[in-house]
Amino acid sequence: MDTKLFGRNQPGGMFSIVDREFFPGSIFWVGSAVSGASDSAGYGRNPDAPFATIDYAVGKCTASAGDVIFVLPGHTEDLATATACAVDVAGVSIIGLGSGRLMPTLSTTAAAGCVAISAANVTIKNIKLLANFATGTTNMMTLSTAADGCTLDGLKFRDTSATNEALVHIAVATTVTDLVIRGCSFVTAAGSMTGSVVFAGSSTDCVIEDSVWYVDSSDSVIDHQTTAAVNILLRRNAVVNVDDGAAGYCVELKTGSTGIAQDNRFGYGKVDAEVAVGDAVWWFENYASNTIAESGLLDPSTSHAIP
């Protein structure tokens, strides 16, 4: 009987049954917590003998072939350079296994340390990124202009302390299309963060949904102020900026940006400040508050007549 499951024998003798709808290409394993893990020939095809780093595994993938990298529970890596985890092969999926304290964790140990995505149609799922550099990590993740179709799913961004912090969580280059940020959480200690998701220029068909921010940001948390967004979708997010003197917003969309903001919740520590801006966006059932321990109000408020 024909089903979407199929069996195959991988190099190294491992036989696997996989869903060809999701994993049509090669499968690689990464796990620093496994004794003997190694970035060398003969490893990476079996969870009992995995590669030691994600970057090495990416280098073994074939572009646009549907290759997947499974990152085993308890895996840890230190990222000390901008190329320590370079995701530069199109169509690769990097999927973390494990939850809680076993979620795979990548720690930045230098200002430039980051996950750098520079290829199209990359998916990264269920990975924790930890800022752990004394004067701040410049960008925990970067998306180049080539990173169209990127999906970030279930990622956790955290600080080690108020000084070992992220200055920006995700820096998105101009003209990126079809970016999806889904089910992610962003938490910072009080510090010097300038923005969480920062767009350098235009974007098209970006989706940010079902994600949570609790940050202390001196500028806008979701910052799209340089060039207009085209058809952006913001839905079911909770965005709290506890900074009580910031000049930014929870969400800032450049004048003329188009799209939909639906069912979001915004909290901003600066009393009587505007919470979100986007003059050409459709706003549906979004609530905002500038006062802790009080319920949010419909924002923007309804001032027009509906015939």
Write out pLDDT tens, residues 40-97: 999 999 999 999 999 999 999 999 999 999 999 999 999 999 999 999 999 999 999 9
* Structure confidence at residue 21 (pLDDT): 64
pLDDT for the residue numbered 17: 60
Which token pair is 137? 């990590």
- Rounded CA separation 95/153 (Å): 9
pTM for the full predicted model: 0.92
Mean pLDDT calculated for residue range 215-239: 97
| CA angle 154–241–174, rounded 5-degree value | 65
User: What is the chain's mean pLDDT, rounded?
Assistant: 92
